[in-house]
Structure 1
Amino acid sequence: MQVLDKTQVEAISQALGEPAWALKKRLEALEAFARLPYPSRKDENWRYTDLSEAPLDRPVEAPKGLSLTRDTLPEAVKRRLEKTDVAAFLVFVGPDLVYAEVPKELKAQGLVLTSLAEAMRLHPEKVEASLFQAVFTEDKFAAQNSAFFTHGAFLYVPAGLELEKPVGVFKVLLEGSKASAGRSLLFLEDNAKAAYIEEYLSPDLPPTLHLSATEMVLRPGARLRHAHVETFGDGVWHFHRQRALLERDAGLNDLVVNLGGAYARSEVASELLGPGSESEMLGLYFGHGRQQFDHYTLQHHVEHHTRSDLLYKGAVKDEARAVFSGLIRLERGAQKTDAYQANRNLILSPTARVDSIPQLEIGANDVRCTHGSTTAPVDETQLFYLQSRGLPRALAQELLVKAHLADVLTRIPLKALRAHIEAVIEEKVRL
């Protein structure tokens, strides 16, 4: 097996034409990666996860210089583009940015949507001021991503610009012999407003490691709606970490959807660093077969008069498993905080399992913080009622699952995205 070492890091940085400061940060991350152990069940945040079958320590796939036209994009992406409504978008196949479509009028207004490598060349001051500020070496997988990422997307929205439609990034995996590591860096200036959708998809693959990181920097008054939608095929082990830094009066509406792959882990944090900042965190997941979805969330209130609201809902059937561990943490200066956290789960078979651990750490005394968790099987009384009205049991169960997830789905204002998620869930319920 090829060793993950300094030679590979330098080769990646050189191939991407990165500046010296970026290579220096990569090498710092490499040192952390070499020092940190892979997590095990002895670690509190990993005690529900068995990584013995995970395809770890694989070298990353190198860029090939692949380029496509809109007509030759992968069929899965073309189908998504037919049913979505985005102002601009990027398409990555493996480590290559194969297609970009950004209207000239948006560029003229100062919007930047491009690869991280190109952004380092054309907008070095913007990237250097924000890259690695939110996700760097927090654990083994974060350090691995920071050292070895081969591709990434960069969104910059200048002060005062408000985008009417979302921008999209589609990441497609077609090969599984090597690992894939990518990042997204979102930088919104004062009072900017945007929506960003990142979708991850693939056919069924042999055991494949995928690492992703999303960093969000929101300056005062900025507003961002973000969606991370994962519908990988079977075989993919997906490790995702994202962290948002919210300054005064900034607002984030975040959605994490895990529906595909063999294993998917999302670690999502909102850092409420300025007074008046607020974060809405939504999550959806549906597991079947032997899938496992792990979600670890942090609502970190640093300053006073901040607000956060979290709602994660999911369902599991067959032998699938789900884990939710959410923490609301308030620092001493976080007076007048209003924070809420809820996790609701539906178990559709006796062999499925959910572990839910909501937590609070309160360092201030003039606050309102509440949390709750429920995990239960389908209500047999409700099933009987629907069946007594002539519905087959499978259809009755499908309706109850959709009803269970409805209050998250209805909070997604992007209609095309909501319809796509609903269609994938309906397909999984019927499997």
Structure 2
Amino acid sequence: MSQTLSTLSLVHIDEISASKNEPDWLKQHRRNSLSIYESLPIETSPLYNKYTDAKKMDPQQVSLSVSTNDVVPSFLQKRLGELENETCIIQIGTHIHKIKISDELKSKGLVISSIEDAIKNNSDLVKKSLEASDSKNDKFTALNNAAFNSGVFIHIPKNLILEKPIHVLTCLSDDGISTISRNIVFADESSKATIVQELYSS
């Protein structure tokens, strides 16, 4: 069931956690972040006002849901074909459409997954990253921490140097539901990688 950002509540936050069978620590992290989001004023940071006016966002016009549809739009087909032989993760709405990693990179320890799988398989790294994010003075970071319904996790192990970029492609679904993604990149000591993020909407 969808709702608008203006009516965001603990009910919706708990619904996200329940739908993904999240651990208690994450459920509490979401709850704490929602409290921070509700207490902070409209965002005034230059980070959110350099290229757009965040104050113009109308919370009543932002639709939220636990998940969206996963229909791949026709305009994206050409780009998906171009990425066929690249290291990439492709997200349509809240759903991971495809993950492409060579066997060689898998054997070297490179991990690319949905944030949902990472919470199950790399819980310590996810928890460390979320706890390090500063949401106490950042309204939108607090919102992201509270209400993310999707996302990408990348772990580049120690000493791994990637010669070619990792492409992270995200496309909004065509059902008008917002996607709130929590992307985490964890690069170990002496590792190196280029990550190219591509954002699309119809």
SS in 2 for 1:114: strand
Question: What's 1:55 paired with?
Answer: 58
1:59-98 superposed Cα distances (whole Å, 9 cap, x missing partner): 42322584x8xxxx44343322444586421111111112
Q: Residue 77 of structure 1 contacts residue 170 of structure 1 at CA under 8 Å; is this kept in 2? A: no
SS in 2 for 1:30: helix
Question: What's 1:145 paired with?
Answer: 144
Q: Residue type matched to 1:8 in 2? A: H
Question: What's 1:362 paired with?
Answer: none
Counterpart selection for 1:15 from 19, 23, 30: 19
Q: Residue 92 of structure 2 contacts residue 173 of structure 2 at CA under 8 Å; is this kept in 1? A: yes
Map of 1:104-123 to 2, 5 A cutoff? 104-123=103-122
Q: Write the distance in 1 (CA, Å) between the matches of 2:165 and 2:84.
A: 8
Q: Residue type matched to 1:56 in 2? A: P
Q: Residue 4 of structure 1 contacts residue 59 of structure 1 at CA under 8 Å; is this kept in 2? A: no
Q: Residue 69 of structure 2 contacts residue 93 of structure 2 at CA under 8 Å; is this kept in 1? A: no
SS in 2 for 1:182: coil
Q: Residue type matched to 2:137 in 1? A: E
Q: Write the distance in 2 (CA, Å) between the matches of 1:102 and 1:44.
A: 37
Question: What's 1:263 paired with?
Answer: none
Q: Residue type matched to 2:184 in 1? A: L
Q: Write the distance in 1 (CA, Å) between the matches of 2:182 and 2:199.
A: 12
> Which structure would you say has the larger Rg?
1
Aligned length: 194
* Cα distance, 1:55–1:99 mapped onto 2, change above 3 Å: farther
Structure 1: any 5+ residue segments left out of the alignment? 204-431
Q: Write the distance in 2 (CA, Å) between the matches of 1:158 and 1:131.
A: 19
Identity %: 25
TM-score, normalisation: structure 2: 0.83
Q: Does 2:36 correspond to 1:37?
A: no
SS in 2 for 1:197: strand
SS in 2 for 1:151: coil
Q: Write the distance in 2 (CA, Å) between the matches of 1:143 and 1:114.
A: 23
Q: Does 2:197 correspond to 1:198?
A: yes
Tell me the C-alpha RMSD between the 2 structures: 2.6
* Cα distance, 1:109–1:161 mapped onto 2, change above 3 Å: same
Alpha-carbon distance, 1:16 to partner: 2.0
Q: Residue 112 of structure 1 contacts residue 155 of structure 1 at CA under 8 Å; is this kept in 2? A: yes
Q: Write the distance in 2 (CA, Å) between the matches of 1:59 and 1:113.
A: 28
Deviates more, 1:3-12 or 1:119-128: 119-128
Question: What's 1:156 paired with?
Answer: 155
Give the structure with the larger helix fraction.
2
Alpha-carbon distance, 1:202 to partner: 1.1
Q: Write the distance in 2 (CA, Å) between the matches of 1:44 and 1:193.
A: 30
SS in 2 for 1:191: coil
Alpha-carbon distance, 1:152 to partner: 0.6
1:304-338 superposed Cα distances (whole Å, 9 cap, x missing partner): xxxxxxxxxxxxxxxxxxxxxxxxxxxxxxxxxxx
Question: What's 2:90 paired with?
Answer: 91
Q: Write the distance in 2 (CA, Å) between the matches of 1:102 and 1:109.
A: 11
Q: Residue 130 of structure 2 contacts residue 145 of structure 2 at CA under 8 Å; is this kept in 1? A: no
Q: Write the distance in 2 (CA, Å) between the matches of 1:172 and 1:101.
A: 17
Map of 1:326-341 to 2, 5 A cutoff? none
SS in 2 for 1:130: helix
SS in 2 for 1:171: strand
Map of 1:346-361 to 2, 5 A cutoff? none
Alpha-carbon distance, 1:44 to partner: 7.2
* Cα distance, 1:137–1:79 mapped onto 2, change above 3 Å: farther
Task: Kindly indicate whether structure 1 or structure 2 has the higher relative contact order, using CA contacts under 8 Å at least 6 residues apart.
Answer: 2
Q: Residue 115 of structure 1 contacts residue 151 of structure 1 at CA under 8 Å; is this kept in 2? A: yes
Q: Write the distance in 2 (CA, Å) between the matches of 1:142 and 1:134.
A: 8
Alpha-carbon distance, 1:178 to partner: 3.0
SS in 2 for 1:131: helix
Q: Residue 149 of structure 1 contacts residue 181 of structure 1 at CA under 8 Å; is this kept in 2? A: yes
Q: Residue type matched to 1:25 in 2? A: H
Q: Residue 114 of structure 1 contacts residue 153 of structure 1 at CA under 8 Å; is this kept in 2? A: yes
1:263-322 superposed Cα distances (whole Å, 9 cap, x missing partner): xxxxxxxxxxxxxxxxxxxxxxxxxxxxxxxxxxxxxxxxxxxxxxxxxxxxxxxxxxxx
Structure 2: any 5+ residue segments left out of the alignment? none
Q: Write the distance in 1 (CA, Å) between the matches of 2:197 and 2:10.
A: 30
Map of 1:245-284 to 2, 5 A cutoff? none
Q: Does 2:10 correspond to 1:6?
A: yes
Q: Does 2:190 correspond to 1:188?
A: no
Map of 1:313-332 to 2, 5 A cutoff? none
